[in-house]
Amino acid sequence: MFAFAACAALVVPACEGSDVTATCEPNGSELSIAVLASNTHHFTTDCLAAPAGRPFTIAFENGDTSDHGDQDVHITDGSATLFQGDLAENGTSITYHVDALQAGSYRFRCDNHPTLMYGAFIVQ
């Protein structure tokens, strides 16, 4: 069972100088995110949340079928990489196992499409 994040409000700077309005808080340690349509280059959410101090998983479904559809989930604090998942080829799924993170406001992005695919990552 994969849990999407529940609602709260927080503003977190995102990739490439943009702002992302984060509206989520942790709801378990099994997160889920996807890219569902061909050539959209957008995640299904712009906010993910995980509990502080506990390892968690991110189930990533890459439903893109374009030639350049390889995508991933990369978590950063803006200057350092906290987690970098393997690329999921177009049309595949992958489950990332992420070590515990400290409470804070971070960002997630796709390395191949960082200006299109990004969001807030909240750890509480």
Q: Which domains does the chain have, with CATH numbers?
A: 10-123 (2.60.40.420)
Note the pLDDT of residue 3: 37
DSSP secondary structure string for all residues of 55-115: -EEEEEEE---STT--B--EEE-SSSEEEEPPPBPTTEEEEEEE----SEEEEEE-SSSTT
Note the pLDDT of residue 6: 33
Residue pLDDT tens, the chain, 124 long:
333 333 233 333 334 445 556 679 888 889 888 887 666 788 999 999 999 999 999 999 988 877 667 889 999 999 999 999 999 988 899 999 999 999 999 999 999 889 989 999 999 9
pTM: 0.79
